[in-house]
Amino acid sequence: MKIGPHPSTDLSRFTKSENELDVLYGLPREVAFCKMCNMSNQQPMSSNEYAHGKSSTKTTLSFDEEGVCHACRFNILKEDGEIDWDERERELIELCNKYRKSDGSYDCIVGGSGGKDSAMQSHLLKYKYGMNPLTVTWSPHLYTDIGWKNFQQWLHVGGFDNYLFTPNGKIHRLLTRNATINLLHPFQPFILGQKTFVAKMAAQFNIPLIFYGEMPGEYGEKISHKTSSYAKGTEAAESEGFSLDYLHGKDIRDVLLGGKAIGEYLDEGVAMADLKSYLPMDPDVLHRKGIDFKYLGYYKKWVPQEAYYYAVENTGFEANPLRTEGTYSKYNSLDDKVDGFFYFTRWIKFGVGRAMMDSAQEIRNHHIDKEEAMALMRRYEGEYPARYEKEFLDYISMSRDEFLALCDRFRSPHLWMVKDGEWCLRRTPWDDMGSAV
């Protein structure tokens, strides 16, 4: 589907001379692509979602003086011999020995959907390291058939106890609509809920050890490969680039959900009890209960494609029979009908689409090379997720016309221009390659 500017869009913002073009979200004005994986320097890093409003600025993926991104450097460290993976496995066994329980109670907790990563993580812990994990799931907005099937397979073929939590659907729809209108971020309510859900369940069931999967350094967060623990939310943890997003004494009425202050929701008659699932827990509770947070990716070398093969073999995981729109892959992020719009809206805001993300990761893990990635991006990057469009638009009570007009308001002029009546990026890695030849 070709997308041109909406009739309501002010095109004068996009036709100024290059150094006068507006730059949104605090993105770098100069667009650059990683010399190794093609990833754009416009790629945002994670930030505290409770402070995410219309005028928030982003921290973006950092590049070194050789033009190589932090995610590539992190991946090189995994295999350049500096990390002794046998030693790391001994550390994992020691950790498991410390927490393993023999009275039948749960000794660790793994959150996930039954996708390849949570499937491998939970299966290794239970069947290789003899732990008794509880698995917990924060429900997608709208399950896809393949997502529901893989979730069931995880439990029935893989063999796990699980709690599935589905937040109040009316409130979830309201937050999703607001997050789309205010932030063009339809996935934010899922992220807000999921981020603290596992910790809340650990506290609820007195489970002392939380396992997260891959380390955030894999996709470029500035966290050292020597850090085994997930940050718990102190100021120091913020500087590590990833945390549980505590409120730090902020007035609850000022906290933002979907870019709108909680005070406004309360004034409109939404009950505080209905917003509770989206708010962080008290860090003192975690401290008092002595809950430990670890990345399994610190102990085991994380290769996404190997997680896929592992999950196929051990938990009955199936790739999607249909190619995922916007990319070429069939096994990443499959369970939510909103997924496609999460990636599509990032493409609008930052010029980073799903094919770029998938291919950059596969280059870093040596499955494809840079030229293959260029061809895949040229073909699929930015594809409109038409398959679940109707369900998504019904969910947020919006027409296609309204949605596309909204998208235009979130396009940063330094990234986008109109050519032959169609939106296109001013710079792409494949155009750069063309001009270099």
The residue ranges that bind Zn ion (CB under 5 A) are 34, 36-37, 39, 69, 72
Q: Which is nearer to Zn ion, 76 or 252 (CB)?
A: 76
Q: Which is nearer to Zn ion, 39 or 184 (CB)?
A: 39
Element (H, E) at 424: strand 422-425
Q: Is 10 exposed, middle or buried (0-12, 13-18, 19+ CB in 10 A)?
A: exposed
Q: How far is the CB of 63 from Zn ion (least distance, A)?
A: 8
Q: How far is the CB of 373 from Zn ion (least distance, A)?
A: 11
Q: Which residue has the tokens 């939510």?
A: 336
Q: Which is nearer to Zn ion, 371 or 394 (CB)?
A: 371
Q: Which is nearer to Zn ion, 28 or 208 (CB)?
A: 28
Q: DSSP string covering 186-246, please?
A: TTHHHHHHHHHHHHHHHHHTT--EEEE-S-GGGGT----TT--BPP-SSHHHHHTT-----
Element (H, E) at 111: strand 108-111
Q: Are strands 209-212 and 256-257 parallel, antiparallel or unpaired?
A: unpaired
Q: Which is nearer to Zn ion, 34 or 215 (CB)?
A: 34
Q: How far is the CB of 85 from Zn ion (least distance, A)?
A: 22
Q: Which is nearer to Zn ion, 32 or 252 (CB)?
A: 32
**Of 193, 199, 198, 260, nearest in space to 51 by CA:** 260
Q: How far is the CB of 68 from Zn ion (least distance, A)?
A: 6
**Of 298, 154, 133, nearest in space to 214 by CA:** 298
Please tell me the distance from the alpha carbon of residue 332 to that of residue 342, in angstroms, as a whole number. 13
Please tell me the distance from the alpha carbon of residue 166 to that of residue 175, in angstroms, as a whole number. 14
Q: How far is the CB of 342 from Zn ion (least distance, A)?
A: 22
Q: How far is the CB of 424 from Zn ion (least distance, A)?
A: 23
